[in-house]
Amino acid sequence: MATFEDFQKLDIRVGKIIEVEDFPEARNPSYKLKIDFGRDIGIKKSCAQLVKNYSRENLKGKLVLCVVNFPPKQIGPEISEVLVLGVPDKNGRCVLIEPERKAPIGGKLY
């Protein structure tokens, strides 16, 4: 069972998606994202299987929650630096977790 201390080790921050590109080399339909976390963390890259529920236009400017302190992960030819958080819809496709209201970029989940 995870403890509260385990949860506190995760650094989950609000980021703003600033760039979305197709990722045709991915095994499953995916996008390459650039996400701005503000001055302290900066802009990070991620790869996410969001094609079924989101267009590139719908994603740009969206606030999302991401784990920013996992080690980088190789996804095909790309490096994913943060994990964008989501939950499955009724078809098992990713639905992003977003702040309910506008929140400051880089804000930490607590």
In this predicted model, what pLDDT tens digit does every residue of 82-100 receive, in sequence order?
999 999 999 999 999 999 9
The three-state secondary structure class of 64 is strand
Type of residue found at 93: R
The predicted model scores a pTM of: 0.94
In this predicted model, what pLDDT tens digit does every residue of 2-56 receive, in sequence order?
999 999 999 999 999 999 999 999 999 999 999 999 999 999 999 999 999 999 9
pLDDT at 108: 96
How would residue 104 be classed by pLDDT, with cut points 50, 70 and 90?
very high
- Angstrom CA distances, 34 to 1, 17, 86, 99, stand at 34, 6, 17, 18
- Angle value at C-alpha 107, between 104 and 92, nearest 5 degrees: 100
Average pLDDT over the chain, rounded to whole?
A: 96
The CATH number of 10-96 is which of 2.60.200.20, 1.10.1840.10, 2.40.50.140, 3.90.470.20? 2.40.50.140
How would residue 66 be classed by pLDDT, with cut points 50, 70 and 90?
very high
pLDDT at 23: 97
pLDDT at 14: 98
The domain segmentation of the chain, as residue ranges, is 10-96
